[in-house]
Amino acid sequence: LIRFLTVKNIINIIAEIGLETCFIHLTQLLQQEFSRWQSFEKMPRIASHFPYGVIELMPIHDEQFYAYKYVNGHPTNPQRGQLTVIAMGMLAEVSTGYPLLISEMTLLTALRTAATAALASQYLARSNARSLLIIGTGSQAEFLVLALKAVLNIQVVYFFDIDQRALEKFARNLMGYQIELRLCNDVKKIIKKVDIIVTATAKKGQTLILENSWLVPGLHINGIGGDCPGKTELDPAILRRAKVVVEYLQQSKCEGEIQQLDEYSCVELWEIITGKKTGRESNDEVTVFDSVGFALEDYTVLKYFYNLSKEMGIGEEIDLIPKVDDSRNLFSLLCTRHPKFHN
């Protein structure tokens, strides 16, 4: 029997260990997995584009585990009361090919995206960073803010959105989290007061959420919302000026903010983590983490929740593997149950 984690199972696991602890663990695990980058067989995700959205498969493996995620992105789903992104994933054992875990990954994707931004920020934000501005308070926003708070010492969060209800939702959800929340009406003005900016808008197309002329020295930017061909948030001048870190160049050059550039000298996250390249080099440097989401992050969160589910005894078991006495006798499964074969 294979382990299956439902949405409710994931909620219960997070409730049990606590979201802050979850983010701290996940950031540590991501650091460990990214530091053994060469152990993984990697490929850009396999995307199918439609007029109304995208469907992707994201596989990766090392010598022990094979992981993949199915995920969509349909920006008009909310108009019909549906989620933009739904995801599910599998962790399998490489030595036998047998699935170990099937899990919902809509929540897990939000967790791993946020934890990866937190990990990158540990290497790229100034060590005395205390405040951030988040632009776009949609479905990823609270996860991003709380992950950054969990691993850095964030005390003040400015938040901006063009949608009043998204602002209210964000503020309501984060009440009680010991964060000083400050509504931002003027992005350009607030930028001067913050150490970190997170851009996480849902808008399709090449938008200019941040202009280069607005920036001040020392900023770190987590660019989350530029994540597929044709969808970017940052002024390309920022990318030319800043140290830009990506997850996996081969994928990011098509999907990330850097798709706006003809040439780039960016660094992969694992290179900073292993010390092959340097992260932030001065307090004046502007840095960008150009996040698009990579299969290694799914691998990490699946392995983490697989272990948690075993330790905590949370999860369902599903009947996905045929049980036969003789492995060559698959047909025996049908032998007692085909009364109508002869018609």
Q: Give 67's strand partners.
A: 60, 91
> What 3-state class would DSSP assign to 55?
strand
161 is catalytic: no
Q: Which of 32, 36, 39, 48 lies at the binding interface for a copy of itself (CB under 8 A)?
A: 48
Nearest to 146 by CA among 137, 328, 262: 137
Catalytic residue among 62, 161, 195, 227: 227
CA distance 132 to 125: 10
CB of 314 to a copy of itself, least distance (A): 13
65 or 270: CB nearest a copy of itself = 65
Nearest to a copy of itself of 237, 333 (CB atom): 333
**Residues 244 to 303: which contact a copy of itself by CB under 8 A?**
none
61 or 182: CB nearest a copy of itself: 61
Expressed in percent and rounded to 5, the helix, strand and coil fractions of the chain are 40, 25, 35
**Of the two residues 141 and 219, which places its CB atom closer to a copy of itself in the complex?**
141
CA 53 to chain centre: 18
From the CB of residue 261, how many other CB atoms can be counted at a distance below 10 Å? 15
Element (H, E) at 166: helix 164-174
User: Which residue bears the tokens 């996040």?
Assistant: 291
Least distance to a copy of itself, CB of residue 196, Å: 19
| Whole-Å CA distances, 60 to 3, 43, 66, 212, 307 | 20, 7, 6, 36, 19
Q: Tell which one of 35, 131, 139, 207 touches a copy of itself (CB under 8 A).
A: 139
Number of residues assigned to the chain: 343
> How far is the C-alpha of 54 from the C-alpha of 120, rounded, in Å?
26
| CB count in 10 Å sphere of residue 34 | 24
Segments in the chain forming alpha helices (H): 7-17, 19-35, 106-124, 141-151, 164-174, 187-190, 236-241, 249-255, 269-273, 295-312
Number of residues that bind a copy of itself (CB under 8 A): 94
144-203: contacts with a copy of itself (CB under 8 A): 146, 165-166, 169, 173, 176-178
Judged by CB under 8 A, the chain residues 11 through 30 that form the site for a copy of itself are: 11-12, 14-21
The token pair that represents 36 in the structure block: 């053994």
Residue placing its CB nearer to a copy of itself in the complex, 237 or 330:
330
Spatial distance between the Cα atoms of 290 and 284, rounded to a whole number of angstroms: 19
Q: What is the DSSP string of 207-228?
A: EEEE-GGG--TT-EEEE-S--B
Per CB under 8 A, the segment of 141-149, 151-159, 217-225, 266-274 that binds a copy of itself is: 141-149
Please give the residues from 110 up to 129 whose contact with a copy of itself meets the rule CB under 8 A.
110
Minimum distance from residue 186 beta carbon to a copy of itself (Å): 23
For 199, the token pair is 């851009």
- Asked if 35 is part of the footprint of a copy of itself (rule: CB under 8 A), the reply reads no
Work out whether 102 is an interface residue with a copy of itself (CB under 8 A). Answer: yes
- Among positions 123, 143, 270, 304, the unique one binding a copy of itself when judged by CB under 8 A: 143
Give whichever of 105 and 239 is closer to a copy of itself, judged by the CB atom.
105
Task: Using the rule CB under 8 A, give the single segment among 126-134, 142-150, 214-222, 271-279 that binds a copy of itself.
Answer: 142-150
Asked if 52 touches a copy of itself (CB under 8 A), the answer is yes
- With CA atoms as reference, report the closest residue to 93 among 64, 60, 58: 64
- Minimum Å gap between C-beta 6 and a copy of itself is 4
Least Å distance, CB 97 to a copy of itself, is: 2
One of 32, 39, 94, 276 touching a copy of itself (CB under 8 A): 94
Q: Report which secondary-structure segment, H or E, holds 267.
A: strand 267-268
Q: Which is nearer to a copy of itself, 169 or 277 (CB)?
A: 169
- Residues known to be catalytic: 227
